Structure 1
Amino acid sequence: MIPVRGFDGATVAVLGLGRSGLTAARALRAGGATVLAWDDGARGREAAEAEGFETRDLTRAGAFEGVACLVTSPGIPHLYPAPHPAIAAALAAGVAVDNDIGLFFRSLGWNGEAPRVVAITGSNGKSTTSALLHHVLTQAGRRAHLAGNIGRGVLDLDPPGEGDVIVLELSSYQTELARSLTPDVAVFTNLSPDHLDRHAGLGGYFAAKRRLFAEGGPDRTVIGVDEPEGRFLAGQLQEAQGDDRVIRVSTAKLETPGWQVTARKGWLAETRKGRQVASVDLRDIPGLSGRHNHQNACCAWAAARSLGLAPREIEAGLRSYPGLPHRSQVVAERSGVRFVNDSKATNVDAAAQALAAFPAIRWICGGLQKEGGLDALAAHYGHVVKAYVIGREAGAFAVALGPGVEAEVCGDMATAVARAAAEAQAGETVLLAPAAASFDQYDNFERRGEDFAARVAALE
């Protein structure tokens, strides 16, 4: 555990007592703070009380008297569509609001050691990029830790030592609120519409992610420039053309000078000062199939190069990477049919990338539809043999797909897997890429992916 510094003898309130909240409470106590804990659910409060924390209803009048800071979990709204009553009360009382990421950065280095921190954000691919970079580092013999929005809560890490590397996956919820953001290397994978209700639109969503680059002034940035927002961000961060502190990443040819890592037609290429210095054929790497994963590989490559790894070390790590569950994960092959779990494709852009990765798809999709509609998927319907729609509103989702794809309303995963498997032909892929959130039928996308894998395993 990393003890939180700067609150010794002070009282700090913690709102939300899930994984990150309870860990933050423990780390605050380890640093000498007095913790007041609150969760809207009785189970969370009981868990805190069992560990000796005092609970206080933070929505009651006067709850923040004598409180120095409120630490909140990322899933709790703090501004849009409306702040949680406890957060509104803290702001009205003039109490600072932070999260575990902010506490981590303010506490780093108090033991005199200086680990390096790589922070990775973006709409899609940040989990794969984070896990891939961590894998590359460990395979190269570097002591690395994976935390944040993936793996362990960041304050649950053991205090890092000199030369360690901490790889953090950060969501927009985390970057928007953290009061301290000071990574050594910051990575922006891409941007597509997501979480628009929490950020009052696309501009607010981009602004939340931009804070990672604007607040702390990282030594080096890796920026995906295939969208306008990425190109704008790279332009803001560079001091002049060819500024090596900004590494541009793209799946297209770049005309800009400077340091860049691109992936075109399955080939990764690193270019510096107009000269290609390394290249890797990504097409035969099972854990990195598809254009979107090639972009992830470019981001991880650029970050690893920023940390001083040689091209041969990085390539070895890419080739041994096993992939992440629920992200283009091959769960079975039966009679020439591949079954792929991409349950993490919870938005339209991620689903479009999954559809582009395979030529003939039996597509399982549907769930809690997000804002923006499904029109962006139409460009990839040529890869879809048939769609099998799940979710409580499966009929409406099937209609929203439009006339460009044959769709069968299945309702639940068991029916969808059975129908797709029965109709699939050799050479086709049965792909779960929902293009929707899971909360209408599952607790999270992991449970949805696990159900898909279990149904596939149970096929006769």
Structure 2
Amino acid sequence: MIPVQGFSGKTVAVLGLGRSGLAAVAALQAGGAEVVVWDDSPDAETKAADAGVTLTNLTKHGSFKDIATLITSPGIPHLYPEPHPVIARALAEGCPVDNDIGLFFRSFATSEWDEFDSIPKVIAVTGSNGKSTTSALIHHILEHAGRPAQLAGNIGRGVLDLDEAHDGEVIVLELSSYQTDLARALTPDVAVFTNLSPDHLDRHAGLGGYFAAKRRLFAEGGPDRAVIGVDEMEGRYIANQLSEGPSDDRVIRVSAGQKIDGIGWSVFARKGFLSEYRKWRQVGSIDLRAISGLPGVHNHQNACAAYAACRALGIGPRVIEAALISFKGLPHRSQLIAEKVGVRYVNDSKATNVDAAAKALAAFSKVRWICGGLEKEGGLDALLPAPTVVKAYVIGREAAAFAMKLKGLNVEVCGDMATAVAKAGAEAEAGDTVLLAPAAASFDQYDNFERRGDDFAACVAELAD
């Protein structure tokens, strides 16, 4: 646990008693704070009692008179489409609002670090797609290189659940826009931006607000090194703002499709080969094509970002290459579930938006595509014409409406996962890939994308070999 500093003897309010909220309660108490909480769920009283804190209605006038700060969970809206009533009350009464990420950055460093030979580092990863794989890949490379490391944030453990840092340790954090948007402290040593595509637009009042939330990690944090994906204009904009010129190697530009050799430091992948250029000459190269845990151009971008972040810490190219080869990938992200009679079954349930699904489709040839769910803003046109798709099998409560938007494709409305997997499996031929890449949220039929991916895997297991 990371005891929270700066609130000893003060009262702090926590909104939301999910994973991050409960961790915040414990970490604040460990730092000497008096904690009160509010949660909207029916079992809030039980949760509060189990955590040893007082459930307090914080929506009333004057609720924040004696409260030093309000800590909110990332899933709770704090501005758009409208703030939660407790947050609205805190804003009205001038109480600072923060989250567990802000608490982590203000509390991670301690006086004990004065005795360390090597100061701990923090790598923070954000972006629309690939941040989970990139974060896990960085962590995997660090462990392979023998560097002590912990992985947390939007993946794995909550940030305040981390163990206190060891000498020379590296903390890898995956940060969502919900987390970067509100944190009052953001000070990573290395910050990574993978890419940007429309997502969570309701929470950020459009694409501009969504980008601004991501950009805060770089504008507010002032990292020593920034790894920036520049395949979109937003990434090029961030890189330009952080750099003092072409020779400034504090910014490492990353691409999954273009050669970048006219600047101080770059890492890019073309035709399956990763190249590192520094001071206008190539200093490293890796063949990514045969690495089974990193299929497709989108995963090559993830590999470039992870490679660059680890090179910024001084890890050698050959060490990184060996780690990439041994990486098995993450569940629900281009995960090979099975191969039956020459047909591969791949679970990419995490492809919850159009851009992620398009990249997943491009990673395979002859795809039998299982898609559908709770459609996000922006429509499906960016997926088309989807030349690798042999046939689409649409699931979800609004499967018929979703299917109608897949113009030009051979489409069958299936409704549920079991039907879609059974039909795709029966029609697939050797060399085909049955791919779950929904291009939609899961909440119409599942609690989360993990449950959806697990259902896909269970249905595949029922198919005959």
Q: 2:137 aligns with which of 127, 132, 135?
A: 132
State the identity as a percent.
Answer: 72
Describe the SS at the equivalent of 2:387: helix
Task: Tell me the residue number matched to 1:437.
Answer: 441
In structure 1, C-alpha distance between the alignment counterparts of 2:61 and 2:423, rounded to whole Å: 56
Q: TM-score, normalised by structure 2?
A: 0.98
How much has 1:46 moved relative to structure 2? 1.3
In structure 1, C-alpha distance between the alignment counterparts of 2:40 and 2:125, rounded to whole Å: 30
Task: Tell me the residue number matched to 1:283.
Answer: 289
In structure 1, C-alpha distance between the alignment counterparts of 2:340 and 2:264, rounded to whole Å: 47
In structure 2, C-alpha distance between the alignment counterparts of 1:45 and 1:340, rounded to whole Å: 42
Do 2:25 and 2:51's aligned partners in 1 also have CA atoms closer than 8 Å? no
Do 1:17 and 1:45's aligned partners in 2 also have CA atoms closer than 8 Å? no
Q: 1:249 aligns with which of 241, 247, 254?
A: 254
Moved more, 251-260 or 221-230: 251-260
Do 1:38 and 1:45's aligned partners in 2 also have CA atoms closer than 8 Å? no
How much has 1:61 moved relative to structure 2? 2.6
In structure 2, C-alpha distance between the alignment counterparts of 1:299 and 1:257, rounded to whole Å: 17
Do 1:11 and 1:33's aligned partners in 2 also have CA atoms closer than 8 Å? yes
1:123 paired with 2:135, answer no
- Aligned 1:49-448 pairs, distance under 5 A: 49-113=49-113, 114-251=119-256, 252-254=258-260, 256-379=262-385, 381-402=386-407, 404-448=408-452
Do 2:78 and 2:87's aligned partners in 1 also have CA atoms closer than 8 Å? yes
Moved more, 154-163 or 253-262: 253-262
Do 1:226 and 1:250's aligned partners in 2 also have CA atoms closer than 8 Å? yes
Amino acid paired to 1:388: Y
How much has 1:196 moved relative to structure 2? 0.4
In structure 1, C-alpha distance between the alignment counterparts of 2:379 and 2:229, rounded to whole Å: 24
Describe the SS at the equivalent of 1:401: coil
Amino acid paired to 2:372: G
Do 1:10 and 1:34's aligned partners in 2 also have CA atoms closer than 8 Å? yes
Deviations 1:47-94 (A, max 9, x none): 121221111011223221200000000000000000000000000010
In structure 1, C-alpha distance between the alignment counterparts of 2:131 and 2:310, rounded to whole Å: 15
How much has 1:21 moved relative to structure 2? 0.3
Do 2:261 and 2:280's aligned partners in 1 also have CA atoms closer than 8 Å? no
Amino acid paired to 1:330: L
Amino acid paired to 2:65: E
In structure 1, C-alpha distance between the alignment counterparts of 2:3 and 2:331, rounded to whole Å: 31
Task: Tell me the residue number matched to 2:116.
Answer: none
Structure 1 residues without counterparts, runs of 5 or longer: none
Structure 2 residues without counterparts, runs of 5 or longer: 114-118
Deviations 1:257-289 (A, max 9, x none): 210000000000000011100100000000000
In structure 2, C-alpha distance between the alignment counterparts of 1:141 and 1:161, rounded to whole Å: 13
How much has 1:255 moved relative to structure 2? 5.4
In structure 2, C-alpha distance between the alignment counterparts of 1:158 and 1:312, rounded to whole Å: 30
How much has 1:43 moved relative to structure 2? 2.1
Amino acid paired to 1:172: S
Do 1:332 and 1:340's aligned partners in 2 also have CA atoms closer than 8 Å? yes
Do 1:37 and 1:45's aligned partners in 2 also have CA atoms closer than 8 Å? no
In structure 1, C-alpha distance between the alignment counterparts of 2:453 and 2:243, rounded to whole Å: 40
In structure 1, C-alpha distance between the alignment counterparts of 2:76 and 2:45, rounded to whole Å: 16
Describe the SS at the equivalent of 2:152: strand
C-alpha RMSD of matched pairs (Å):
0.8
In structure 2, C-alpha distance between the alignment counterparts of 1:436 and 1:216, rounded to whole Å: 32
Do 1:261 and 1:298's aligned partners in 2 also have CA atoms closer than 8 Å? yes
Moved more, 97-106 or 109-118: 109-118
Task: Tell me the residue number matched to 1:20.
Answer: 20
Describe the SS at the equivalent of 2:241: helix
In structure 2, C-alpha distance between the alignment counterparts of 1:256 and 1:92, rounded to whole Å: 50
Amino acid paired to 1:158: D
Do 2:261 and 2:277's aligned partners in 1 also have CA atoms closer than 8 Å? no
How much has 1:44 moved relative to structure 2? 3.7
1:36 paired with 2:20, answer no
Q: TM-score, normalised by structure 1?
A: 0.99
Amino acid paired to 2:436: L
In structure 2, C-alpha distance between the alignment counterparts of 1:30 and 1:262, rounded to whole Å: 44
Amino acid paired to 2:127: G
Describe the SS at the equivalent of 2:112: coil
Q: Would you identify which runs of 4 or more consecutive aligned residues in structure 1 move more than 4 Å?
A: none
Amino acid paired to 1:273: K
Aligned length: 458
In structure 1, C-alpha distance between the alignment counterparts of 2:51 and 2:67, rounded to whole Å: 21
In structure 1, C-alpha distance between the alignment counterparts of 2:443 and 2:190, rounded to whole Å: 34
In structure 2, C-alpha distance between the alignment counterparts of 1:182 and 1:10, rounded to whole Å: 24
Do 2:260 and 2:267's aligned partners in 1 also have CA atoms closer than 8 Å? no
Do 1:392 and 1:441's aligned partners in 2 also have CA atoms closer than 8 Å? yes
